[in-house]
Homo-oligomer: A and B are copies of this chain.
Amino acid sequence: MSSAIGNKIKVQIFGQSHSEALGVVIDGLPAGEEIDLNEVNEFLRLRAPGRNKYSTQRREGDLPKILSGMKDNRTCGAPLCAVFENKDAKSADYDAFSEIPRPSHADYTAYVKHNGYNDAAGGGHFSGRLTLPMCFAGAVCIQILRRAGITVNAHIYSIGDIFDASLDANGKLCEFPVFNAEAGERMKGVIEEAASEGDSVGGVIECVVWGFPAGFGEPMFDNVESRLSYGLFGIPAVKGVEFGAGFAGANMRGSQYNDNFCIEGGIIKTETNNSGGVLGGITNGMPITFKVAVKPTPSIFKPQRSVNMKTVEETELIIKGRHDPCVVPRAVPCVMAVAAIIMYDIYLEGK
Chain A residues near B (Cβ < 8 Å): 1-6, 8-10, 12-16, 19-23, 25, 27-28, 31-32, 65-69, 71, 74-81, 83, 101, 103-106, 108-110, 112-119, 124-126, 130, 158, 160-161, 194, 199-204, 214-223, 225-227, 229-231, 233-234, 236, 238-247, 249-263, 266, 268, 270-271, 274-276, 279-285, 291, 293-300, 302, 304-307, 309, 312-314, 350-351
Contacts and interface: CB of A to CB of B under 8 A. Distances in A.
A351 B348 CA distance: 12
This chain's copy number in the assembly: 4
Contacts of A78: 3, 14-16, 19, 118-119, 124-125, 219
A118 B220 contact: no
B280 A81 contact: no
Nearest to A278: B109
A83 to B, nearest CB: 6
A308 to B, nearest CB: 10
B219 A110 contact: yes
B204 A126 contact: no
Q: Which of A2, A255, A284, A298 has the most CB of B within 10 A?
A: A2
Given A242-B293, A293-B247, A76 B16 contact: yes
A279 B223 contact: no
B219 A2 contact: yes
Contacts of A19: 67-69, 78
Contacts of A66: 20
A162 to B, nearest CB: 11
B234 A240 contact: no
Contacts of A201: 252-254
